[in-house]
């Protein structure tokens, strides 16, 4: 049985890699995450989930931690989360699955044993499927360098595991907080793979990117996962280099807590009742819903609202970024809504820091709906 942490406690991250198991493709993400992140590596002779589970269990930190499970490692993380080992506070699944994402005959996996999957040419041919429009030579070279250290038989055996796995029952039995990060342009794991996680109560979040989401969009993925960790009521434990002081006698920097961020946001961003905000609807003001897509689908949203998920806020509010939403003009009158008011406050503070001057928090969508505000499907 997991236990909540005391106020001010911190957690580290344990990253479980994808099918290759090398953990060699996550440096950029680990830097963007900005917290102590242990990247686990799988021995090449371990291919079955049961064997890998013993390997991972033996490596679990003895301090509070969260698991970040990439693709192949999702079922493995589900098994561990179901048993709620001491110290585990939550799990973030990235482009992953609870059961076989795309059924295929077993011989398809066995074919990998004879195909030159670890050649540079094979890595180049994989790019449309694994990276799409984010493909680049640097990643191709990095992928090739990683794959050539893994026997083809190992890759084939792990893929065979994927083709017969089903951990949906274990996922339903999991009581730990979970996040499912879906890659919008994933050509390997379909969008429907998120459904079991959503049904089990996980927070489902979509980020524009390919199957190799942590490699193609490290900053966006890191932001969503850090928000998830902060939402657990704990502090992300800073990376070792963040704790170093110069000179050595200088005291370590105290990390800010979620309460600190909320206090700053509530002090800076004006909040009004949903009933008062209704008068602004239809007057040219821009209403912004900062929740994730699954939350909007369940409750609906404000009629005509612009969807700007909090994890993409900085990108969509930046006029020079490719993801900029033209509705977010710096002189616009913005009214932010979320589930209960907390995310809207934090998002409003971020917008103020970016130069937006007319930002108001109108609280949770329930307040708006109860006051008779116009709604539409999310």
SS3 105: coil
Residue 169 has pLDDT above 90, yes or no: yes
**Contact between residue 185 and residue 209 where contact means Cβ atoms under 8 Å apart:** yes
pLDDT in the model for residue 202 = 92
Domain with CATH 3.40.250.10 in the chain: 258-376
What is the CATH architecture assignment of 10-236? 3-Layer(aba) Sandwich (3.40)
Chain-wide mean pLDDT for the chain? 86
Domain with CATH 3.40.50.1820 in the chain: 10-236
Q: Rounded to whole angstroms, how far apart are CA atoms 210 and 136? A: 13
Q: Rounded to whole angstroms, how far apart are CA atoms 131 and 142? A: 13
SS3 278: helix
pLDDT in the model for residue 247 = 39
If we measure between CA atoms, which residue out of 22, 297, 34, 2 comes closest to residue 178?
Answer: 2
If we measure between CA atoms, which residue out of 236, 289, 276 comes closest to residue 258?
Answer: 236
pLDDT in the model for residue 96 = 97
**Contact between residue 10 and residue 240 where contact means Cβ atoms under 8 Å apart:** no
Comparison of pLDDT for 145 and 213, the residue scoring more: 213
Q: Rounded to whole angstroms, how far apart are CA atoms 259 and 102? A: 42
| Per-residue pLDDT tens over the stretch 61-110 | 989 999 999 999 999 999 999 999 999 999 999 999 999 997 755 545 45
Residue 18 has pLDDT above 80, yes or no: yes
Domain 258-376 = CATH 3.40.250.10: yes
Comparison of pLDDT for 248 and 233, the residue scoring more: 233
**Contact between residue 56 and residue 76 where contact means Cβ atoms under 8 Å apart:** yes
**Contact between residue 62 and residue 38 where contact means Cβ atoms under 8 Å apart:** no
List residues bridging with 183 in a β-sheet. Answer: 207
């Amino acid at each position: 049985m997991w236990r909540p942490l005391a106020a001010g406690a911190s957690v580290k991250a344990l990253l479980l890699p994808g099918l290759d198991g090398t953990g060699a493709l996550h440096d950029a993400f680990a830097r963007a995450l900005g917290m102590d992140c242990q990247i686990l590596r799988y021995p090449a002779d371990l291919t079955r989930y049961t064997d890998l589970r013993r390997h991972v269990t033996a490596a679990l930190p003895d301090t509070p931690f969260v698991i970040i499970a990439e693709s192949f490692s999702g079922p493995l993380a589900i098994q561990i989360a179901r048993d709620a080992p001491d110290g585990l506070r939550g799990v973030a699944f990235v482009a992953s699955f609870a059961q076989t994402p795309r059924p295929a005959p077993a011989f398809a996996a066995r074919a990998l044993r004879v195909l030159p999957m670890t050649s540079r040419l094979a890595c180049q041919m994989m790019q449309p499927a694994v990276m799409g429009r984010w493909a680049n030579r640097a990643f191709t070279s990095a992928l090739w360098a990683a794959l050539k250290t893994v026997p083809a038989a190992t890759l084939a055996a792990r893929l065979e595991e994927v083709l017969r796995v089903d951990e949906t029952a274990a996922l339903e039995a999991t009581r730990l907080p979970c996040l499912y990060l879906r890659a919008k342009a994933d050509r390997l794991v379909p969008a429907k793979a998120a459904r079991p996680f959503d049904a089990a109560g996980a927070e489902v979040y979509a980020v524009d990117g390919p199957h190799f989401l942590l490699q193609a969009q490290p900053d966006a993925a890191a932001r969503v996962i850090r928000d998830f960790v902060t939402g657990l009521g704990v502090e992300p434990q800073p990376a070792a280099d963040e704790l170093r002081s110069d000179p050595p006698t200088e005291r370590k920097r105290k990390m800010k807590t979620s309460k600190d961020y909320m206090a700053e946001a509530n002090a800076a961003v004006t909040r009004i009742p949903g009933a008062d905000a209704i008068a602004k609807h239809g007057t040219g003001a821009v209403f912004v819903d900062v929740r994730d897509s699954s939350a909007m689908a369940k409750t609906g949203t404000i009629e005509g609202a612009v969807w700007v998920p909090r994890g993409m806020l900085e990108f969509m509010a930046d006029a020079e970024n490719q993801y900029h939403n033209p509705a977010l003009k710096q002189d616009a009158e913005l009214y932010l809504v979320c589930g209960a008011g907390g995310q809207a406050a934090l998002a409003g503070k971020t917008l103020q820091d970016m130069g937006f001057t007319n930002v108001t928090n109108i609280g949770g969508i329930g307040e708006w709906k109860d006051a008779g505000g116009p709604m539409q499907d999310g």
